[in-house]
Amino acid sequence: MKPFAGRLARIEPFHVMDILARARAMEAQGRSIIHMEIGEPDFPTAPGIVQAGIAALQAGHTHYTPSLGLPALRAAIAASYPADVRPDPARVVVTPGASGALQLIFAALVNPGDQVLMADPGYPCNRHFVRLFEGEPVSVPVDDATTYQLNADLIRRHWTARTVAVLLASPSNPTGTLIETGEMAEIVRTVEQLGGVLIVDEIYHGLVYANEAVTAIAHSPEVFVVNSFSKYYGMTGWRLGWLVAPPAYIPAIDKLAQNIFLASSTVAQHAALAAFTPAVQEVLAQRRDIFRERRDYLLPALRELGFRVPVVPQGAFYLYADASRFTDDSQAFALDLLERIGVAITPGLDFGSYRAAQHVRFSYATTLENLHEGVSRLRKYLGRI
Ligand SMILES: Cc1ncc(COP(=O)(O)O)c(C=O)c1O
């Protein structure tokens, strides 16, 4: 066999996959497992979207769409933004998930050796996307002092002559914390002054539990915004997302999309058109309320058990907890929880290296009943150690 390309050595696997594989094997042997490791909504896709997908197939919509996406869907996505910040549909590009959007953006922006700043802890694929294009991800440690987010000061301090872009996620995975709009405005100004590009991943924007989150495109047409039908719209398996790009980049992104993906899934795009109907929006809003209810149960419950969650997460469906009272090896801790009490969680190692061995991520993409059971098992386990 020919040796693999060198970049393979710089792309790490998801450690949670070991946990998931072990959890599935235990389930196959009849063990009851509480899944708090999973990063996707537990709800099936809303019926209105599924029906629109079936109708699209029956109507013969099985051919390629334009690379930038169905014009009607680009218009519907643009129209989903508040009137005062609504982008021109020509700036909206439909992609195979937020993952496809991030790959297009980095393919368009990153030369070999270019640095991209991002938060640690953060979504792990981001640093691998940058490495795919021979760039250098620069993970900046963040903690509760900055609500687990980069801010203008951190960006200035880590900027070098090789930095070309900053990637933020608000709300963040794994912490669920949001960048307040005043802070975002300052970040936008800072990155513009430094001559770089700001990319904001808003995949969890629909799942914000207090005030509506303000999109970063409100601050400048030069920001790249990434979003997806995966999380709020409950369509992870359909593989559909989008990006909003500054107008000057659209022809380059079109050229890349034509070559890399040809187009996003046609059936998924037709189905997604139904995501904006009032009936589906009502279902999605109800689900958001259910997620909020779960957070409001799980956060105080974990704190009471002794996990430290210093910032109340305003969105997504994760709690990133400091477990240093119980362990200094979160991977071993997660495996032990699984073996002894059948509770699956994600070790911090999956999200970076900064204090990763002291942290774990709990996902509340499971029923309140399961969360109660998980907490009760944890209480017994922690009482013993
Ligand atoms: C912050 C973040 N960005 C992007 C993605 C990728 O999502 P998609 O399914 O839209 O490709 C995820 C998935 O977990 C995520 O958490």
Of the ranges 8-12, 173-177, 245-249, which one carries the lowest mean pLDDT score? Answer: 8-12
Distance from C-alpha of 383 to C-alpha of 325, rounded to nearest angstrom? 12
CA 270 to ligand 1 centroid distance, Å? 21
User: Cα–chain-centroid distance for residue 244?
Assistant: 16
Which atom of ligand 1 is least distant from the CA of 239? Answer: 9
- pLDDT at residue number 347: 95
Distance from C-alpha of 249 to C-alpha of 95, rounded to nearest angstrom? 15
Average pLDDT over residues 327-345: 96
Residue 305 exposed, middle or buried by CB count within 10 Å (0-12, 13-18, 19+): middle
Confirm or reject: Cβ of 123 under 6 Å from ligand 1. Answer: yes
- pLDDT at residue number 269: 98
- pLDDT category of residue 18 using cuts at 50, 70 and 90: confident
Confirm or reject: Cβ of 351 under 6 Å from ligand 1. Answer: no
Tell me: pLDDT of 212 over 80.
no
Of the ranges 64-73, 248-257, 375-384, which one carries the lowest mean pLDDT score? Answer: 375-384
Average pLDDT over residues 200-222: 94
CA 59 to ligand 1 centroid distance, Å? 30
Confirm or reject: Cβ of 374 under 6 Å from ligand 1. Answer: no
Residue 320 DSSP code: E
Average pLDDT over residues 245-252: 97
Confirm or reject: Cβ of 173 under 6 Å from ligand 1. Answer: yes
Confirm or reject: Cβ of 95 under 6 Å from ligand 1. Answer: no
CA 373 to ligand 1 centroid distance, Å? 28
Average pLDDT over residues 86-100: 98
Tell me: pLDDT of 211 over 80.
no
Average pLDDT over residues 135-145: 97
- pLDDT at residue number 10: 86
- pLDDT at residue number 16: 83
Tell me: pLDDT of 385 over 90.
no
Confirm or reject: Cβ of 350 under 6 Å from ligand 1. Answer: no
97-109 and 125-132 are packed helices; what angle lies between their axes, rounded to 10 degrees? 40
Q: Which residues pair with 34 in a beta bridge?
A: 343
Average pLDDT of the chain is 96
Tell me: pLDDT of 1 over 90.
no
Confirm or reject: Cβ of 41 under 6 Å from ligand 1. Answer: no
- pLDDT category of residue 17 using cuts at 50, 70 and 90: confident
What digits encode the pLDDT tens for the residues 264-296? 999 999 999 999 999 999 999 999 999 999 999
Tell me: pLDDT of 384 over 80.
no
Tell me: pLDDT of 2 over 90.
no
CA 161 to ligand 1 centroid distance, Å? 29
CA 168 to ligand 1 centroid distance, Å? 13
- pLDDT category of residue 262 using cuts at 50, 70 and 90: very high
Which atom of ligand 1 is least distant from the CA of 169? Answer: 1
CA 379 to ligand 1 centroid distance, Å? 31
- pLDDT at residue number 295: 98
Distance from C-alpha of 89 to C-alpha of 15, rounded to nearest angstrom? 39
Average pLDDT over residues 239-244: 98
Q: For residue 181, give every residue at least 6 positions away whose Cβ sits within 8 Å of its Cβ, in sequence order, or none.
A: 214, 218
Percentage of residues in the chain with pLDDT exceeding 90? 93
Taking the chain, what is the end-to-end CA distance rounded to the nearest angstrom?
Answer: 48
Distance from C-alpha of 385 to C-alpha of 382, rounded to nearest angstrom? 5
Domains and CATH numbers, the chain: 6-44+280-384 (3.90.1150.10), 62-276 (3.40.640.10)
Which atom of ligand 1 is least distant from the CA of 316? Answer: 16
CA 261 to ligand 1 centroid distance, Å? 18
CA 152 to ligand 1 centroid distance, Å? 24
Pocket test for ligand 1, best of 175, 228, 264 (most atoms within 8 A of CB): 228
